[in-house]
Amino acid sequence: MRPQLVAFALSVTLTKAAFGDPCGHPDLLESFPPNGAVEVPMNARLSARYASTAEYVDEEVTFEHVGVGVETPRATFDASEGFLSFQPPAPLVPGDAYMVRWPSLRGLTTAVAGKGAEVKFTAGSTDDVDAPLFGGVRAVSWDVERVDDECTDALEDRFVFDLTLDPVTDDGGKDMLTLLAFQSKGGSASTSPTPVLAQHFPASGGNVATVRVERSVDSATGNVCFAALARDSSARVSNSADREVCVHTVKPPFFYGCAMARARTGSDRGSRAASATLLALLGFVGLGRRALRGGKRDV
């Protein structure tokens, strides 16, 4: 594993700048474990992920051992990831029911509080002791979409990357796993890995899971590489940071002629988009305009 990726894997520190400008509501986005989870490890650290706009000012977290008692544990907030977390004061009792009331948090740019959540789960009978087994990113494809930026209220082009992931397993169960994805090459990642995603490990269709990453055009034009880690409830990470998958992107706008098939894979997109750019340089720009929309381009 290369030194810079080792450092990333050990620290796993994310910056809010990596996930876009703080303009949305400071809502709770997901919890670990999710509501209704079963077989939660007895030693699990419990957490909730909030939007990047959220600000924690010692709001109270309520932890209830159903039928036994209610406590208000001291929680810690990682502002870089948006994670509010606490360690239960005692190991969870196998088979018992628990409830966490995650608070509403205020926003950095608004006085209106976001959404909290009430999460119920059932404890399992084992501890989470081993790091996740995860191979990392298997494949990547890319496209361009035009979006209405909620910060500037203006249309802008962005690259969207669909990362196909290897299967993951962990002795603490998949409900407690966090996926951490980063751009390891291209743009600002030329000197160090750039975090681009932190979320619950996605559900898979069969054995394959896919996540989407949005990047600005300036930060992801040219040869772009991605890698990913899985992190468990005890903050152990998978040994997958050194597996990179790369693709070559071309800066929009593109030209798509009537006879040119629109690409479906990352490698095809790169070569066809490059040909399109060449045509534009030869003076064919005025012959057509590219229509941008979300999702994949279909013929």
Q: Is residue 168 a part of any domain in this protein?
A: no
**147: pLDDT confidence band, cut at 50, 70 and 90?**
confident
Of all residues in the chain, the percent with pLDDT exceeding 90 is: 60
Predicted confidence (pLDDT) per residue in 85-133, tens digit: 999 999 999 999 999 999 999 988 777 889 999 999 999 999 999 999 9
Contact 124, 171 (CB under 8 A): no
Assess contact for 20 and 214: CB atoms under 8 A. yes
Looking at every residue in the chain, the average pLDDT score rounds to: 80
Q: What is the pLDDT of residues 148-188, one digit of tens each?
A: 766 667 788 899 999 999 999 999 999 999 999 999 998 76
- DSSP structure class, residue 35: T
Q: Give the pLDDT of residue 152.
A: 66
Residue 283 has pLDDT above 60, yes or no: no
Range of the domain at 41: 11-123
Better pLDDT: 127 or 273: 127
- Does residue 22 fall inside a structural domain? yes
Q: What is the pLDDT of residue 256?
A: 41
pLDDT at 146: 84
Determine contact, residues 137/183, Cβ cutoff 8 Å.
Answer: no
Does some domain include residue 136? no
Reported confidence tier of residue 23, pLDDT bands at 50, 70, 90 = low
Q: Identify the domain boundary among 123, 140, 165.
A: 123
Q: Which of 104, 123, 142 is the last residue of a domain?
A: 123
**DSSP line for 211-265:** EEEEEETTTS-EEEEEEEEEE-TTS-B-S-TT--EEEEE-PSP----TTPPPP-S
Residue 60 within a domain? yes
CATH code, 103 = 2.60.40.1220
| pLDDT of 288 over the 50 cut | no
Mean pLDDT confidence for 1-19? 47
pLDDT of residue 205: 60
| Number of folded domains that form the chain | 2
Q: Which of 17-31, 122-136, 140-154, 182-196 has the lowest mean pLDDT?
A: 17-31
Cβ 168 vs Cβ 155: under 8 Å: no
Q: Does residue 144 belong to any structural domain of this protein?
A: no
Establish if 131 belongs to a structural domain: no
Q: Are residues 165 and 177 in contact, defined by beta-carbon separation less than 8 angstroms? A: no
Of 123, 154, 180, the last residue of a domain is: 123
Q: What is the pLDDT of residues 52-68, one digit of tens each?
A: 899 999 999 999 999 99
**Contacts for 195-198: CB closer than 8 Å, 24+ residues apart:** 195/13, 195/14, 195/15, 195/18, 195/19, 196/18, 196/19, 196/226, 197/19, 198/14, 198/19, 198/49, 198/81, 198/82
pLDDT at 63: 98
pLDDT the model gives residue 111: 73
Does this model's pTM top 0.85?
no
Residue 150 lies in a domain: no
Q: What's the pLDDT score for residue 168?
A: 93
Separation of alpha carbons 33 and 100, rounded Å: 10
CA–CA distance, 200 with 104 (Å, rounded to integer): 20
